[in-house]
Amino acid sequence: MLKEVVSAEFEGLANEGVVLVDFFSATCGPCKMLSFVLNDVEKTLGDQVKILKVNFDENKDLTAKYEVKGYPTIIILKDGVEVKRLQGLQQKPALIKALQEQL
């Protein structure tokens, strides 16, 4: 199960290791489809990466900090530093490749 986080808990979870952050909106169709893809990614990579979901509409401070302009936006962090950004619906092979490049 993917973890949806709020601003208060984000920093503690996103500063260590490889973390995929999915900025989404509950009303966004592609965001809902991406959740299924991310579940598959999580099953494939297991504990090698963390996947966090951030509600775009409810966490404006994080969307401003990371300059997220639309959704879905995926940001890959390594030890708290942004290393890759992807916009829109992504497929599992592309996400796996992007994450494995950081392991």
17 catalytic? Reply is no
Per-residue HEC secondary structure of the chain comes to CCEEECHHHHHHHHCCCEEEEEEECCCCHHHHHHHHHHHHHHHHHHHHEEEEEEECCCCHHHHHHCCCCCCCEEEEEECCEEEEEEECCCCHHHHHHHHHCCC
31 catalytic? Reply is yes
Catalytic residue among 31, 54, 68, 74: 31
Catalytic residue among 28, 86, 89, 96: 28
Q: Write out the catalytic residue numbers.
A: 28, 31
